[in-house]
Structure 1
Amino acid sequence: MPEEDLIELKFRLFDGSDIGPIRYPPTSTVAMLKDRIISEWPRDKKIIPEVANDVKLISAGKILENNMTVAQCASSPFSELPAGVITMHVVVQPSSTKTKTEKRIDESPKKTACSCSIL
């Protein structure tokens, strides 16, 4: 694939640090990007995603679906800037955190209090 056909992306993490920029073919999918992010994730971070479903990518204010290609993601007004690096924001939502939160909500006893006064 010619070098000029590749799209340059970087991924902004929650603390402001970046992974990349890295050049990708336009046919790469968001799922492939997520796998690459997980493999290159800095191990000194407090939050480390374990699987691709723990990661959400946001580009131009939209959450990207796993089946989208880089070419589809890059087709925004911002990507028409010449020789620009496209920045995608990374949000991590580990599935273990979701289940712990759900359990806490489900297991909490319902408190019913009566505020009636009998005179």
Structure 2
Amino acid sequence: MLEEELVELRFRLGDGSDMGPIRYSSALTIAMLKERIVSEWPKDTKITPKGSTDLKLISSGKILENSQTIAQCRTPFSDLPGGLGSGGAGGGVITMHVVVQPSLTKTKTEKKVDDMPKKVTVCSCTIS
């Protein structure tokens, strides 16, 4: 039976705090990783994502695509000393930056609702 390769990841949040390091399967997709991050998000932070679509993950200066696996994202690390690309116990911890950014469609929808004129009902009564 094949042993599952685990990768140690640390997530640097916008306020400078960290989540992790936590070991994840290298077969996990970025979309699944984002879901896990949202579920484990610290409760005492000012900015909190409403869902995984509010998150952007950045590694080695690149925004990671939801369809990529963790293994595909670590490819650039294979040439670094210390064996980060080789996995295993001595592989080190990979730090990914997490940016919380509400999705554009939500923002536009909320703005349109806020900009809409409010309904005002005027009742006119005639007294004879």
TMscore range, shorter length: 0.7 to 0.9
**1:56 aligned to 2:64?**
no
Q: Highest CA radius of gyration, 1 or 2?
A: 2
Deviations 1:16-66 (A, max 9, x none): 111111111111000111011101111111110011110000000000000
Give the letter for the 1:86 counterpart.
Answer: I
In structure 1, what is the Cα distance between the partners aligned to 2:44 and 2:79? Answer: 31
**1:85 aligned to 2:97?**
no
Alpha-carbon spacing, 1:98–1:88, altered in 2? closer, same or farther (3 Å) = same
Deviations 1:74-110 (A, max 9, x none): 1113774332100000000123896269838xx6xxx
- C-alpha root-mean-square deviation of aligned residues, in Å? 2.6
In structure 1, what is the Cα distance between the partners aligned to 2:10 and 2:49? Answer: 17
Who is 2:123 aligned against?
none
Give the letter for the 1:43 counterpart.
Answer: K
Who is 1:114 aligned against?
none
Percent identity for Structure 1 against Structure 2: 62
- In structure 2, runs of 5+ residues without a counterpart are 84-90, 116-128
In structure 1, what is the Cα distance between the partners aligned to 2:104 and 2:41? Answer: 18
Give the letter for the 1:91 counterpart.
Answer: V
In structure 1, what is the Cα distance between the partners aligned to 2:48 and 2:78? Answer: 29
Who is 2:87 aligned against?
none
TM-score, length of structure 2 as denominator length: 0.70
Contact 1:79 1:86 in 2 (8 A): no
- In structure 1, runs of 5+ residues without a counterpart are 108-119
Alpha-carbon spacing, 1:13–1:101, altered in 2? closer, same or farther (3 Å) = farther
Give the letter for the 1:67 counterpart.
Answer: S
